[in-house]
Amino acid sequence: MTSVTTVLASGNVVFDSEKSDAAAVKAGLEAALTDAFGYEAWVVLLTRAQLAAAVEAYPFEDREGWHSYILFGSAQERLDELLQAAPTLDPADERVQPGSGVLYWQVRRAVGIKSPLSLLAAKARFKSTTTNRNLRTLHKILAVPTDR
């Protein structure tokens, strides 16, 4: 990888690669991280275009007192499983909507990580294939110059 830049010390890395096989890039990154740090590492890999499209399609308006997130996944069945919880969510506290390879999620700040969807997404079966990021963080990632 070249032009490697980390963003906000929360697992966000922007880089360039001449490799076009995303699965091979993902596998290579996971193996390198596992070897370097001694734990089983998982990567959710997106192109800049995929990230930009997901952010652009965010369906919920900005609301005072709410956090806006996108849940990314490398296994659609896991995102589908999370989406199955949507009808049981209290719309006064959180809401979720599917997107292309993502789930859009908005949660009241006062509820935060104790929300039903947050507690479900934190379960071990989702760790290897899903990650979520705050919409503000995603805008910062997209602001990283491409001509570094």
> What residue ranges do the domains of the chain occupy?
60-134
The backbone region for 3, taken as left when phi is positive above 0, alpha when psi lies in -120 to 50, beta otherwise, is left
CA neighbours closer than 13 Å in the CB half-sphere of residue 87 = 3
Out of 38-42, 46-50, 100-104, 144-148, which region has the weakest mean confidence (pLDDT)? Answer: 144-148
pLDDT in tens, 63-78: 999 999 999 988 899 9
pLDDT at 148: 56
- Alpha helices, H only, 9-147: 22-37, 48-56, 76-83, 116-121, 124-127, 135-142
Q: Which structure tokens are listed for 121? A: 């997404």
d(CA 26, CA 49): 17
d(CA 95, CA 30): 32
Q: So what CATH class is 60-134?
A: alpha beta
pTM, rounded to two decimals: 0.88
